[in-house]
Chain A
């Protein structure tokens, strides 16, 4: 015969539909969203990794000033590569963005058609999907430059532009102001040769480190793809190739794929949110497990007589523990199963849209993800099982007699906390309610801290980005910084004559008559990978009487930017050690002071000191500070221009890719807040139903009873809201710092203002107000005969 207690489960579910409903809904939403995210993340990652083979992504590209001749081509290909033309033009469009146009690629860096069709006629173009969406360009629309116009036939993803970096030296891409597109061969042939950029992509005949599966190196060691060893192997191969190809042609730019941000940035950034999502899931499951435990403890207190009778009749502890665990476990399993179904259907689309909102990824297929299943179903199930089992088993160790007497306290005699007569009666009453419900309120505190942390993140991010933008605008080194691109051929050790000629050409081409221009030397080093991944630091060698940087660097003084000091916790007197990116050479500098500049991780010293440190010529310089545009230097030697637009790309891109997600975060935070407040204040009222009923019999009005029972929770909620704001400000500062350290280069300071906290308080208050209204209704519905039941 099956356990007859099971028959009450369905009735319990019906009578407590509200409680189980909201818990189920929160579990469903959390598991569904996290499962969707993990499935989309896993599928995207596989698609991204496979895209290297699927779309034949290049191993690198090189730019030259003029077309490579067939003979030169053959010489280069003899170096163990296949070389492909990948010419492009850049057109400034009337929407104030720049479009880089290629002819459709068939052998390397092939494109993925996302929507519509590829261009087949002249006057047609297929453009990057994300750029199109960001600029509101639909398939079928016309786009225009000063002298041309094209009909957009489709959206595409260029496999070598998963992140839309227009310049490989940029710290962040900008998918609003920069896009890519493809046209037919005939259309491309119509562009003037004057504006053509001669880019060639290469693919190694034998890979230095096999992508994907990894390979063995010359010493027979296994080299995992993406590992430091693999990157070193690729670097060695690329450097060797660069030297050899430099003997054949004059190189302007040489970028191996593993250094090409447009290709690798996406892969490096993917998965950085994974651990946060998993932490979010476990936090919610943990809180819900404790909420379940409290509600079950409440039920046990209510049913103590019955439990005592059942225990006295011969029911084992195990049978009762299993009985009381059935509902929470059933709700968890249902939440997990339906959550996973939604994860693979609805939420996976939402999560993949988040990726598609950030990157120009190719089409992907949903893949079964065993890890996601374990993390979102198996682990939460066992978490819920263990927490509930431990708490229930502990409760059930009391003797049947204790249950009969409803004496569920383990302490012999619980003493009342003394509250003086001077405290008004209602205040004492409320304090007693608070003392009675301390465990509920402890869970509520954790929940409010967690919900407010999410809310703070959602509300503060736009403020952080605005503040960053303002800081940048107010503290730019100069309106324009021109970082010159020294031709690779100058560095050639093999052909001194070619090097000399290149040097002369370069020096002449970068002289300017602009009166605001001030020369500086720049050198790029990398941080040691101690507190975060190694990242680039730009070293400025400035003139002693610089009119742009007000620092005294006449001696050995070295200053660092405030952004660098903030990110790496550096202060004057400390010594920083930096290294060459792919070499072992290290440089140490003692910090004299901090310079008020948040825009980048930078180090400032005298030009003389920089040139000496890096063994450069006394007259060497590699950039200009300027307050106006410099128009008289040859553009091909301009590596990058750091202006306001360039410096604020990070914040713009974050705004574009994460802005909409912040609303989801806000909604989710409020959902957690509502569920917890609703459940826990419901428990307070249920626990006191008899007392409420008695006060009604005695003649208390509903408003008075609410002032006692709801206001005590209100006071607690307000205190928790205020306390959590202070704590969450600190926690978010720490978390934001970790995000900045681990998932992006550069530095954005965490910043909040009063309005964020006012919004948080109002949202919390309004949400609580709605729940309190429901609780008021509940108090009104407590029947007076509740007190007449013999359950004292």
Chain B
């Protein structure tokens, strides 16, 4: 198993204010699989994604990627782990405002000893003509493409996406989903995507429903459809 999660627990606050966000999560994801995490607000999906990404820690349980447990890693090793294995895409793009589009993608490329070709990536993402612009000169969709480019340029093993279409309109959202589908097929990255959008589950290989910090449903989607055909 490529990504193995066992009895993962996480809580916030203390005493009477203590809230258990994850209450023992068990999950296995295969290499190259496109997994969608669905659930209402407060179900713990973003927290789970952050713990997988090594930017948050669990109280109990473990996550192992390719057999390597992240909870046992110290800060430096965790940084190297993120550098080597992970790519992030957030709802709010998080581009560096004073770097051009190309330079923002280079920020990701720098982290890899074998980065993909930047120009080709920008062509694939449809932002090549904007390469010398600053993020605030681009639309939300173009900025999100840049963020995806930055995450993918180092060809990570796992691409973690937290509501990547949450701030986009229908048309742009579909374009972004098509793009993610394309890179998944083209580069074979494992994708874990957190979303509110129930329709996205139809394009995923695996669908996980969370509620109140627990997995309510976890199944392999046998009738996967292309992103192009999604509708909501």
Contact = CB atoms under 8 A, between A and B. Distances in A.
B34 interface: no
Contact of B107 (A433, A690, A698): A698
Contact of B136 (A407, A694, A695): A407
Contact of B98 (A426, A433, A697, A701): A433
Interface in B71-107: 76, 79-84, 86, 88, 90-100, 103, 106-107
Interface string A597-614: 000000000000000000
B110 interface: yes
Contact of A788 (B90, B107, B133): B90
Contacts of A407: 136
A611 to B, nearest CB: 78
Contact of B103 (A415, A432, A788, A792): A432
B157 to A, nearest CB: 12
B82 A697 contact: yes
Contact of B134 (A415, A426, A700): A415
B111 interface: yes
A428 B103 CA distance: 8
Contacts of A698: 82-83, 88, 107-108, 111, 150
A792 B82 contact: no
B55 A792 contact: no
A277 interface: no
Nearest to A428: B103
Contacts of A792: 92-95
B101 to A, nearest CB: 9
Interface string A392-423: 00000000000000010000011110110000
A700 B94 contact: no
Given A413-B137, A699-B84, A699-B111, A436 B98 contact: yes
A403 to B, nearest CB: 15
A587 interface: no
A416 B83 contact: no
B76 A429 contact: no
B50 interface: yes
A81 to B, nearest CB: 81
A426 B132 CA distance: 17
Question: Which interface residue of B84, B94, B150, B162 has the most chain A CB atoms within 10 A?
Answer: B94
Contact of A694 (B94, B100, B109, B132): B94
Interface string A21-37: 00000000000000000
Contacts of A416: 100, 132-134
Q: Interface size class for chain A?
A: 20 to 34
Interface string A753-792: 0000000000000000000000000000000110110111
Contacts of B56: 785
B134 A414 contact: yes
B134 A787 contact: no
B225 to A, nearest CB: 31
Contacts of B133: 415-416
A792 B107 CA distance: 18
B213 interface: no
Given A416-B100, A416-B134, A784-B55, A701 B79 contact: yes
Interface string B38-73: 000000000000100101100000000000000000
A697 B55 contact: yes
Interface in A420-443: 425-426, 428-429, 432-433, 435-436
Contacts of A701: 76, 79
Nearest to B75: A702
Contact of A699 (B83, B94, B97, B98): B83
Given A415-B134, A425-B110, A697-B53, A790 B92 contact: yes
A234 B4 CA distance: 103
Contacts of B86: 699
B82 A699 contact: yes
Contacts of B94: 690, 694, 787, 792
Contacts of A428: 103
Given A695-B107, A698-B107, A432 B99 contact: yes
A415 B130 CA distance: 12
B206 to A, nearest CB: 24
B137 A429 contact: no
B119 to A, nearest CB: 10
A498 to B, nearest CB: 91
A389 B91 CA distance: 37
A429 B99 contact: yes
A519 interface: no
Nearest to A409: B136
Interface of B: 50, 53, 55-56, 76, 79-84, 86, 88, 90-100, 103, 106-111, 132-134, 136-137, 150, 162
Given A790-B92, A791-B92, 19 more contacts: A416-B100, A425-B103, A425-B110, A428-B103, A429-B99, A429-B103, A433-B98, A698-B88, A698-B108, A698-B150, A699-B80, A699-B83, A699-B86, A699-B111, A700-B111, A784-B55, A785-B56, A788-B162, A792-B92
Interface of A: 407, 413-416, 418-419, 425-426, 428-429, 432-433, 435-436, 688, 690-691, 694-701, 784-785, 787-788, 790-792
9 contacts: A414-B134, A414-B136, A416-B133, A429-B103, A432-B98, A700-B83, A787-B94, A788-B90, A792-B93
